[in-house]
């Protein structure tokens, strides 16, 4: 990154733990550049094959860079994190890992796609004949240490943030995280070049990149959960050609989500000749799950939006 920041760090750790020794202590208002690694912890690379997916050591997945101690931060406060910039690496991967993902019972064998993209122009990443996924780099895992003692997996998100996989925590976004331990102990990682809302196969375009952020302490915020502010459009990168939408309708939201995604997998296969596995990966990085209706008992509506710009 061309900008100057107060600090640059590259130390990684596995698992949230309030006892982790901070890499750095900062005052409110300081900026840091974080040099992250991909969510496989370097176990996958641009030359990896699908055989490598089955060899992943899950004790080494989802490393995060940090933790950072913010002076005077105490339980009940919030730390405002402004994402200043992201500098992507130019490559990434998307995989379906056995036992993981919305349709894990259907896709039992590993799948892998390696992506490359232009880091200067940030042009869409190519996916097979005719498909090009618009890019929107963001931080998949970003959060603070929980108050509960011991080491906790980074895979599930928590009240203090973590692996939230919110694609709008991108450059310009202001994220407020509730503090549970003294200093907050902030870490970030699991950076993505693109992802759809829902990350349905369990992975996005997992891509190492540098993340620059500014930290500000908000005393006495007493937030129940994280909140964030998005500057500008959240969907402009996908909106240009409109969307195809499939739905799932019934009394169970999870089943509705499965039905909506399965419908899109069938549609992409019929329209573009994609295998079910390829369509599943593409849905994860480009399509959005939405709850369209949750009040008309006894059935709810889940919709899956796939941007037509990928193939037009």
pLDDT score for 232: 86
Give mean pLDDT, residues 225-232: 95
pLDDT score for 286: 98
Residues 13-29 pLDDT 10s: 999 999 999 999 999 99
CB 75 within 8 A of CB 159: no
Q: Residue 206 — very low, low, confident or very high, per pLDDT cuts 50/70/90?
A: very high
Q: Using the structure block, give the residue that is written with the tokens 């928590």.
A: 158
- Alpha-carbon Rg for the chain, nearest whole angstrom, is 19
Q: Which residue has the higher pLDDT, 273 or 232?
A: 273
* Burial zone of 280 (CB within 10 Å; 0-12 exposed, 13-18 middle, 19+ buried): buried
Give mean pLDDT, residues 196-223: 98
Q: Regarding beta strands 12-13 and 174-178, do their DSSP bridges make them parallel or antiparallel, or are they unpaired?
A: unpaired
Q: Is the pLDDT of residue 169 over 80?
A: yes
**How far is the C-alpha of 98 from the C-alpha of 112, rounded, in Å?**
11
**How far is the C-alpha of 115 from the C-alpha of 28, rounded, in Å?**
38
Q: φ, ψ for residue 187 (rounded to 5)? A: -140, 160
* Burial zone of 298 (CB within 10 Å; 0-12 exposed, 13-18 middle, 19+ buried): exposed
CATH domain 7-229 topology: Jelly Rolls (2.60.120)
Is cis: bond before 67, omega within 30 of 0?
yes
- Cβ neighbours of residue 99 under 8 Å, at least 6 residues apart? none
Residues 238-296 pLDDT 10s: 999 999 999 999 999 999 999 999 999 999 999 999 999 999 999 999 999 999 999 99
**How far is the C-alpha of 107 from the C-alpha of 100, rounded, in Å?**
9
User: Partners of 91 in the beta sheet?
Assistant: 116
pLDDT score for 1: 55
Q: Which two tokens stand for residue 204?
A: 């996005």
DSSP state of 119: T
Q: φ, ψ for residue 31 (rounded to 5)? A: -120, 150
Q: Is the pLDDT of residue 2 over 70?
A: no
Q: Where are the domains of the chain?
A: 7-229, 241-310
Give mean pLDDT, residues 229-244: 93
pLDDT > 70: what percent of the chain?
99
**How far is the C-alpha of 247 from the C-alpha of 295, rounded, in Å?**
16
Residue by residue, DSSP assigns 137-189 as -EEEEEE---SSSS-B-SSS-BTTEES---TT-STT-EEEEE--STTEEEEEE
Per the prediction, the chain carries an average pLDDT of: 96
Domains 7-229 and 241-310 belong to one CATH topology:
no
Distance of CA 302 to the CA centre of its chain: 21
Distances (CA, A) of 222 to 69, 149, 219, 236: 19, 21, 8, 33
**How far is the C-alpha of 19 from the C-alpha of 68, rounded, in Å?**
12
Residues 53-111 pLDDT 10s: 999 999 999 999 999 999 999 999 999 999 999 999 999 999 999 999 999 999 999 99
CB 163 within 8 A of CB 155: yes
CB 178 within 8 A of CB 78: yes
Give mean pLDDT, residues 171-191: 98
Q: Is the pLDDT of residue 39 over 60?
A: yes
Give mean pLDDT, residues 162-172: 97
Pick the CATH number of 241-310 from 3.50.30.50, 3.10.28.20, 3.40.50.9100, 1.10.630.10: 3.10.28.20
- Cβ neighbours of residue 209 under 8 Å, at least 6 residues apart? 36, 86, 87, 88, 89, 137, 191, 193
């Amino acid at each position: 990154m061309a900008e100057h920041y107060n600090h640059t760090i590259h130390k990684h750790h596995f698992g949230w733990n309030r006892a982790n020794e901070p890499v750095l202590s900062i005052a409110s208002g300081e900026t840091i550049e974080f040099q992250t690694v991909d969510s496989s912890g370097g176990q996958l690379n641009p030359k990896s094959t699908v055989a490598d997916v089955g060899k992943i050591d899950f004790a080494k997945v989802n490393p995060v860079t940090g933790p950072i101690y913010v002076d005077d931060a105490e339980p009940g406060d919030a730390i405002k994190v402004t994402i200043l910039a992201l500098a992507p690496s130019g490559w990434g991967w998307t995989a379906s890992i056995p036992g993981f993902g919305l349709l894990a019972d259907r896709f039992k064998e590993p799948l892998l796609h390696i992506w490359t993209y232009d880091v200067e122009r940030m042009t869409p990443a190519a996916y097979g004949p005719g498909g090009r996924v618009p890019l929107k780099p963001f931080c998949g895992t970003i959060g603070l240490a929980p108050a509960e003692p011991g080491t906790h997996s980074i895979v599930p998100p928590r009240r203090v943030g973590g692996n939230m996989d919110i694609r709008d925590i991108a450059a310009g976004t202001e994220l407020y995280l509730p503090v549970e331990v003294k200093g907050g102990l902030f870490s970030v990682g699991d950076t993505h070049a693109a992802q759809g809302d829902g990350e349905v196969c369990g992975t996005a375009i997992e891509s190492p990149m540098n993340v620059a952020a500014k930290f500000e302490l908000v005393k006495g915020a007493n937030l129940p959960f994280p909140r964030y502010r998005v500057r500008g459009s959240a969907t402009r990168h996908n909106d240009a050609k409109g969307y195809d939408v499939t739905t799932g309708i019934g009394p169970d939201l999870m089943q509705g989500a499965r039905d909506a995604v399965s419908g899109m997998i069938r549609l992409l296969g019929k329209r573009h000749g994609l295998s079910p596995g390829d369509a599943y990966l593409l849905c994860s990085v480009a399509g959005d799950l939405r709850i369209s209706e949750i009040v008309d008992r006894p059935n709810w509506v889940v919709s899956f939006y796939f941007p037509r710009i990928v193939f037009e």
